[in-house]
Amino acid sequence: MASTTRKMVRIGRDPVQYDSQVSGNSDVIFTANAVKVAGQPNAVPIQFLDLFCRNISANTTLYLMVFDLAAVPANATIPAFMPLEMLAGTMAHLDLSHAVSVGGQPATYGPQMLLGMCWAASTTSDALTIDNSSSLWVTARYA
């Protein structure tokens, strides 16, 4: 059987990739006020697809939280999805996308983010307690 490579496409829009470029403790991935770039979304809702994260801390377990908000929230805020536990020195992948075939064409779906999308490193797993060590490097895809 011959191998094939398919571009991951959501009907009407290709995925966009965000990368923090350095370790940090929080950031806005997408807001409706983002500068319009051809082929990229400039309004909510958007679809969350997946996220990669690396904890560069030598000894601290952190919890990566994703929020359906246009700005990083205050402490005690509950994340949109179950937090991703990041042991010291580890990498992880959170994939919430789902690829299906619609009318014989590939289509990708993910949870809708209605207000925007941001992430934060937390020292607690139940609700946000922002970590000040700036130890997470995050790459996320959305459409």
At 65-87, the pLDDT tens digits run 999 898 999 999 999 888 999 99
Question: 125 in a domain, yes or no?
Answer: yes
Question: 94 in a domain, yes or no?
Answer: yes
The number of folded domains in the chain is 1
Range(s) of the domain holding residue 100: 16-142
pTM for the complete prediction?
0.82
Question: 11 in a domain, yes or no?
Answer: no
DSSP string, the chain: ---------BTTB--EEEE-SS-BSEEEEE-TTSPP-TTS--SS-EEEEEEEEEE--SS--EEEEEESSSSPPPTTPPPSS--EEE-TT-EEEEE--EEEEETTEEEEE--EESS-EEEEEESSSSS--B-SS--EEEEEEE-
Q: Which residue has the higher pLDDT, 21 or 123?
A: 123
Question: 100 in a domain, yes or no?
Answer: yes
Give the pLDDT score at 33.
59
Question: 4 in a domain, yes or no?
Answer: no
pLDDT bucket at 43, cuts 50 / 70 / 90: low
Question: 126 in a domain, yes or no?
Answer: yes
Question: 27 in a domain, yes or no?
Answer: yes
Question: 9 in a domain, yes or no?
Answer: no
